[in-house]
Every structure is written in C-alpha cells, then in structure tokens.
Structure 1
C-alpha cells in the first residue's frame, strides 16, 4: 500500500497534481491540513475528480465526509484516545475505513480492532520537518501481526529508501516531503517511488 499525505499548507496547483497522481495509480490520499477550515477542505475536495473521492482519507472535519462519498476517516493519536470503542465500532459498521497513528511500538498491540491500518514513524529522518528525526536502527523490524491493524511506515521516505520499508516488514509506506518539497517535480518523484515500491513485490 502506497499512501500520499497532502502538504499541511497550500501548494500551488495542488489539486491538479493530485488528480494526475490518481491517474498514475495513487491508491490513497490522506488529506491532512491541520489549520484548514471546513470550507477550505471542501474546496480542495471539490477540485479533485469525484471518481477519486472514495480514495481520500480525511484527517479533520469528518462531518463533511458523507457528502462527498468519503468513507476513510483518520484519527490522530490524541483523537483516537477521545473516541470510545463503541463509537469506533459504529463507524466501522457503517462501512467507514478507519486509520490512526502511533509513535511507540508498544502502542500497536493496544489499538482498537476497528482500525484497518496505522501510521508508524518516523522511520527515517523527516524530509519536511527537520526536527522530526528517527531513532530506528538500520536492522529495525516491525512486529506486524496478521490479526491486528496493518502498519504503514511514515517519515523521510523517498525513492532511495522505500525498498527498506518492505524489508522492515511494514505493510505499506506513506510519502509526503519527497512529493511536496518540489511541486514541479511531484509527478516525476511519485512515478519513481511507485516503481521502486512495486519492485519490492517481486
């Protein structure tokens, strides 16, 4: 699973790039805009081809999801802890696909079963946040369990290290800085990362 996380702030031509990336085979876009209003998020979604809306995961303003046919809802670590098990089960029973984030390996086994997958990181030093550094050893292996949530690596992932993600036993990779750091090269970078990721499945 290859996931793209939106830039936290506006990018020139952002939705045009996103539409092309979906055409190129992007599986899931996580719409993460911490400071954005409901109207700003709605405006972005409306500029993304509606045939891709079911591939968008919302990080905030979950209340607008249904109006756009969005079933994917992401909960931050803090947001997850504010949700009851019953509320999460109700969302899952309503066919929502739930995801969350963890930063400690120990938190994995305690995740509610309602979450299909979780982000875990930083696996490498972040590209977009210089202060977001990794403490993972080179031989790190994540203890993914078949009966628990899938685990998506996040943090500093680009074409040079994405193959290591599979070696670390992760189920997928989330990319951010490698795509948005230079918007003019976003599509080229995505294609290169996608090609390298697919090679790990051989």
Structure 2
C-alpha cells in the first residue's frame, strides 16, 4: 500500500493533483497542515472530492473531523505520549509516528498503522536522517498487530527495499511533491504495489 502525505508548503494545483491521485487508486492521503486555520482547513478538505473522504487522514484540526466526514486521525509521537488520542478512540481509525523500532514494537492495537522514519535520508527535509536511518532495524520488528509504514526518503529507486525489509506499506512525500510530474511518480511505483485498504 502507498500512503501520500501532503506537501508542507502549498503546491500549484495541489487539490487537482490530490484528486487525480485518488482517482488513480491512492489508498490514503495524509493531510499534514498544522498551520491552517479552521476555515482554511475546511476549504482544503472541501477541495478534495467528497467521495474520497474515507481515504483522508488528518494530522490536526481533529475537532473538525466529524463535520468533514473524516474517519482517520494521525497523532504525532509527542501527542501519543501525552495520550491525546484517547479522546478519539471511539469512532475513528488511528495512526501514529515512531522513530525507533523499539517504540514501534511497544505500540498497542489501538493503532491501525504507524510511520517509522526515517528509513532513508529525507527528500523534503534536508539533513534529516543523514546520521541515522531505520531501514536496517526492520528485521528487529516483533509487533505484528500494528502495520508498519516506512517513511522518509522513499522514491522510485528504493521503495522496493523498504517492502523487502519487512514494511507493510510505504509513505511518500518529497518523491512526489518535489517532482515536476507527481502523478507519474505515483503511477510508476503503484504499478508494483497492491493498493487495497485494510478495514482493520
């Protein structure tokens, strides 16, 4: 499965690209737009075809989720450690982020999946992951109750390594949004990966 994260900065024709990718089978799209006001977030989500709401995951503005018809919420590692997710455990599918395999192995089944990053040096955040990456730690995975999603530096050349190392899915960011042909990048990788969305 491929998960795409929103670009941190606005991209020209962003909503059109998102709709095109969802139409082409993108299973899940993560909206990571912490800086938006409530009104801006509403407008951003409403720019995406309403038929795809079940594939949207928001990293913020959780109080708007029900009104927007969003069923999936993502909690940053620091928010998870502060148990901020506990108020949303009923009625939502939850995901989170970790940065070590030990943290991943300690997650309980309330989490559908977790991003483990960085598996490679980041494309979008220059310098992030240069000193340490998590790819070689994947064989140490012992938690099979939560799906592991590799994130960080994944592109058309290396995505297969992440899946071969034991990740259940991959998350893309810079490889898509920093490319002049984002749809083509997704389609190139997607041809080789099952796109179904688990209901777990």
Q: Which runs of 5+ in 1 are unaligned?
A: none
Identify the match of residue 101 of structure 1 among 88, 97, 100: 97
1:8 matched to 2:5? The reply is: no
CA deviations on 1:138-196 (whole Å, 9 max, x unpaired) are: 755344446421110000001100111111100100000011003x4011111112124
Q: Which runs of 5+ in 2 are unaligned?
A: 195-200
Q: Distance between the aligned counterparts of 1:137 and 1:157, measured in 2?
A: 12
Local SS of the residue matching 2:108: coil
Alignment-derived partner of residue 161 in structure 2:
164
Alignment-derived partner of residue 129 in structure 1:
125
Q: Distance between the aligned counterparts of 2:49 and 2:7, measured in 1?
A: 19
Alignment-derived partner of residue 198 in structure 2:
none
Alignment-derived partner of residue 150 in structure 2:
153
1:40 matched to 2:40? The reply is: yes
Shift of 1:91: 3.0
Alignment-derived partner of residue 79 in structure 2:
79
Aligned-CA RMSD value = 1.8
Local SS of the residue matching 1:93: coil
- Number of equivalences: 193
TM-score by length of 1: 0.88
Whether contact under 8 Å (1:29, 1:57) holds in the other structure is yes
Local SS of the residue matching 1:52: helix
Whether contact under 8 Å (1:2, 1:194) holds in the other structure is yes
Change (3 A) 1:139 1:106: closer
TM-score by length of 2: 0.89
Whether contact under 8 Å (2:22, 2:52) holds in the other structure is yes
